[in-house]
Amino acid sequence: MIIIVEGIDRVGKSTLCNQLSSKFKIPIYQHVGDRDLNKIISNTETEKNLQLLEICRLTNAFIIFDRLQFTEYVYGVAQRNYQEKEAMENFEKTDKFIVNNLADAILILVSPTDINRSSEEHGRDLNKHNILFDFLYKKSGIKNKFNCTYENLQEAIDFVSARINEI
């Protein structure tokens, strides 16, 4: 089972991931490293994500992804000048892989309680980013999905708990 936590910066994604990891003893994957985000092309990130997801499928791994395909699309389109058509194709490729191969996947979108505050804390207007995350959340074919805010992270944890108890 994989749990994907997505959303703009400064909304509580990592807090939720840490709470889920602690409660269910599931490791967190978060891509970190020194990389020039303006030079990375969408295809490269998509292939990396698909390889990670294939490993999860093959090993029946339980893992929490602190960001995955939504983030690549949103920040690529909003900040890195990705072509929207190519970015959407890559998003759909990843989403389709999850739907077809990881049926018990869970998607959680953490939305801001105050977009202006999140933007201020990040140092950039995140309104467009937030609109794109909402759009992708609605577009995603992942069946088990939940939208929350920092104020109701416990409801997201309860949602995950119910899904885990089903398998």
pTM value is 0.92
Q: Which CATH number fits domain 2-27+37-160: 3.40.190.290, 2.60.40.2380, 3.30.1300.10, 3.40.50.300?
A: 3.40.50.300
Q: What is residue 33's predicted lDDT score, i.e. its pLDDT?
A: 53
**Residue 67 DSSP one-character state:** S
What residue segments make up the domains of the chain, in order of their start? 2-27+37-160
Amino acid code (one letter) for 128? K
**Contact between residue 126 and residue 115 where contact means Cβ atoms under 8 Å apart:** yes
What is the tens place of the pLDDT at every residue in 103-149?
999 999 999 999 999 999 889 999 999 999 999 999 999 999 999 99
